Amino acid sequence: MQTGTDTVLAEVVDGVGVITLNRPDRRNALHAEMYEAVPRLLERFAADDGIGAVLLTGSGNAFCAGGDVRDGDSARNVATGDREARILSRSAILADNARMVTLLHEMPKITIAALPGAAVGAGMSIALGADLRIAARSARLIPGWSKLAFSGDFGGAWLLTHLVGPAKALELLITDEPIDAGTGERLGLFNRVVEDDDLPAAALRWAAQIAAGPTYAFAGTKANVRDAGRLPLAEAIRAESERMVRSGATAEHRDAVKAWLAQAAQKAKVRS
C-alpha cells in the first residue's frame, strides 16, 4: 500500500490495517513525514468497512524512540517576532503532530500497538494511545522527558493518568525509570506479553480475531469504556442504552443470535 513515504509502511492482512513505523536504523524515531502519513492511514482505515481493527508496530527491535533529537523538529523551525508568539506557534505545530495519538484513541475501531522493543517519550505516548498493547518480552516503556528537562508531549501524562491513576503516573514520569514488560503488564499498561520471536505472529493473530468480530458492537463498547472515564453514571447509562439498541438492530447482531441458537440446539442434541 502506498503511504507517500519510506518511513511508514502499510498493508491490510485478514481485515487488519497494519501500520509500521519504518526507520529501524534510528529506532523508528519520529520523522516529519510520519506526522502526515500515519494520521492519513488511520483516517483511511477508520473509514474502510473492510477493516475491523488497526495494528501499529515498528520495524526492527524498537517500537519508537520518540522525537528525533538529532534531526531537530518542525516545531522549532518557526521564525516569528517575539518569544511568546514563537512558543504559541511551536506549541500548535507540536499538538498537530500528536494528532495520530488522538486518532488511535478516538477512532471507532479497536487499535492495537505491538511493541518489539522500546517505546520512548512520544513513542510511549503513541503506544499508550492505542486501545490495547501487546509487547515482546524485551520491550520497555521509557518516559524519557525529564532526563532532557522536558515536561512531556503527545498526551503521555493524560494517557498514563487514565491508565494507572494520577499518583502513579506522576511517579513514573518524574522518576523516568524504564518500565519493563513484566512491570508494564502488572500495571495494566501491557495487555499481553509474549516472547520476542512470537510478537509479529501473536499481534497479527490477536488483531485478526478482533477484526473478525462484531465491529459495530466493538465500536460501541469502546465508546462505553471511554464514557466511563468522563461521564457521570446516569449519563453514561443513557448513551450506553442507545448504543445497545442500535447494535441490536444490526445484521451483526442477527447473525450472532442465529449462530448462538444453532450452537445451543447442537449442545441440546448432544446432551439428549
- Domain holding 148: CATH number? 3.90.226.10
Q: How many domains does the chain have?
A: 2
Residue 74 has pLDDT above 60, yes or no: no
The domain boundary, picked from 191, 211, 231, lies at: 211
Residues 170 and 220 both lie in one domain? no
The domain boundary, picked from 211, 242, 257, lies at: 211
Residues 219 and 201 both lie in one domain? no
Contacts of 72 (CB under 8 A, 6+ apart): none
- Segment 103-129 shows an average pLDDT of 98
Q: Which helix (H) or strand (E) holds 13?
A: strand 8-13
Single out the residue of 5, 179, 96, 223 nearest to residue 19, CA to CA.
Answer: 5
What pLDDT is stored for residue 78 in this prediction?
Answer: 56
Residues 66 and 107 both lie in one domain? yes
Residues 205 and 222 both lie in one domain? no
Residues 162 and 243 both lie in one domain? no
Residues 76 and 168 both lie in one domain? yes
The domain boundary, picked from 211, 227, 248, lies at: 211
Contacts of 26 (CB under 8 A, 6+ apart): 65, 68
Identify the domain containing residue 166 by its residue range: 8-211
What pLDDT is stored for residue 272 in this prediction?
Answer: 76
- Are 252 and 215 in contact by the 8 Å Cβ rule? The answer is yes
Residues 256 and 159 both lie in one domain? no
Residues 45 and 139 both lie in one domain? yes
End-to-end alpha-carbon separation of the chain, Å?
A: 53
Q: In what order do the strands lie in the sheet with 62-64?
A: 62-64, 118-120, 140-142, 179-180
- Segment 238-249 shows an average pLDDT of 96
| pLDDT per residue as tens digits for the range 77-94 | 555 568 898 899 999 999
By percentage, how much of the chain surpasses pLDDT 70?
A: 95
Residues 164 and 52 both lie in one domain? yes
